[in-house]
Structure 1
């Protein structure tokens, strides 16, 4: 028998508490979760369920109160703040509901930003940003500012910015939350393609079942606990082949 693939991400007994004393609130109450390379996972749950807290931990934006977070064999909870920042820059790409683009900056320059922070030279930044825009279907749109783009196009720029560093994992927090239905499905088709054809591991928080339907695995949180963890029998959402 072949052995199971080694987990890219492992959470073991992870808790997260906010506040102290009587004001203390336990947002996560002991989470065990394995994610292997190449998965497309939708994290779902009502407001206050713990799904966003989990994403913050996975994105190295916060640390567990207790428990272990292992990323590619590295115990993240033992890293310093600077080491976690290095892990974020090298391995993680982020896509947010609000796009978070610089308004007076062109699409190309927005996509270049993570490489600027890495200290890469102007030529390599520009080439990588142009390739990332082409990857999300925006070749030739690099000179436009966000105000000159539709919401769907802005989110594509945001995804290109996340991809330009060639991340191991793409973390998407309600990536379609500010889009209409048609643009939402366009973005989900893009994430589906990036996962299926390019092998990028995608972790997405969403409260919308029709968006979660694109994922290959569905993880449901409630009251700080993982309520369900199950494969999606028909991944791909509407219109997927």
Structure 2
């Protein structure tokens, strides 16, 4: 898949009239009911909403893990809904990184090897994979932990490995689904600080689903879903980490 340079007037991501239906006939359920949403490059967006609001379906659509029933999804000006399965897979590998609540690390595999996996799928050489994985682990504060398995790491460290794996391909967008859901308060704030740093220092666009207002407060923008539509979309003038670093 070839993605063109985004025109100055075009956001990185644009959703227009996105609907998503599940089931058929009397059992059909519409999870998204005409979603319009723009995401600019370099933004940090928290997506919130009650259970069943459509926020996870929207995130899966943005991550090309699900396809909408109708509407238009543009990524850097390219209509994603017109891409075939293999093309969407290439878009995910090249432009998107994923972080999940459950870490999703291979249990018997070292941190280094876990982080190398996306590069292995892309066919990169052993030397290039090792160098890139080491850089990614260092960037999340885990230099020296390369040979530890997940069982030898704390929950916060495991999530850092998962984040390193997500950014090792240098994605344009990092999609984080409840990234602090399995962590205590202190580790949650450490992970949010790390995501904030990746956004500010490396310019990675961050899209994060969360149900925790204190985690959403790290974002530059909060989008709230209710009943399958965007009910509120507001800028956060004082993100938590920004205020802390300014003090």
Whether these two folds match at TM > 0.5 is yes
1:1-241 alignment, distance < 5 Å: 6-237=10-241, 240-241=244-245
More moved, 231-240 vs 165-174: 231-240
1:233 Cα deviation after fit:
1.9
Q: 8 Å contact 1:10–1:71 — kept in the other structure? A: yes
Q: Distance in 1 between matches of 2:123 and 2:224?
A: 39
Q: 8 Å contact 2:196–2:241 — kept in the other structure? A: no
SS of match in other structure, 1:175: coil
Structure 1, residues 24-77: CA drift from partner, whole Å, max 9, x if none? 000000000000100000000000000000000000001110000000011000
**Alignment gaps of 5+ in structure 1:** none
Q: 8 Å contact 1:5–1:36 — kept in the other structure? A: no
Equivalent residue for 2:3?
none
Q: Distance in 2 between matches of 1:141 and 1:6?
A: 41
Q: 8 Å contact 2:10–2:77 — kept in the other structure? A: no
Q: 8 Å contact 1:44–1:218 — kept in the other structure? A: yes
SS of match in other structure, 2:188: helix
Q: Distance in 1 between matches of 2:70 and 2:157?
A: 40
Q: Distance in 2 between matches of 1:236 and 1:32?
A: 27
Q: 8 Å contact 1:210–1:237 — kept in the other structure? A: no
1:240 Cα deviation after fit:
2.9
Q: 8 Å contact 1:146–1:154 — kept in the other structure? A: yes
Q: Distance in 2 between matches of 1:162 and 1:86?
A: 15
Q: Distance in 2 between matches of 1:77 and 1:109?
A: 33
Check 1:6–1:240 CA distance in 2 against 1; reply closer, same or farther (3 A cut): farther
Q: Distance in 2 between matches of 1:28 and 1:6?
A: 23
TM-score (norm 1): 0.97
Task: Note the aligned Cα RMSD (angstroms).
Answer: 1.3
Check 1:120–1:4 CA distance in 2 against 1; reply closer, same or farther (3 A cut): closer
Report how many residues are paired: 239
Q: 8 Å contact 1:211–1:237 — kept in the other structure? A: no
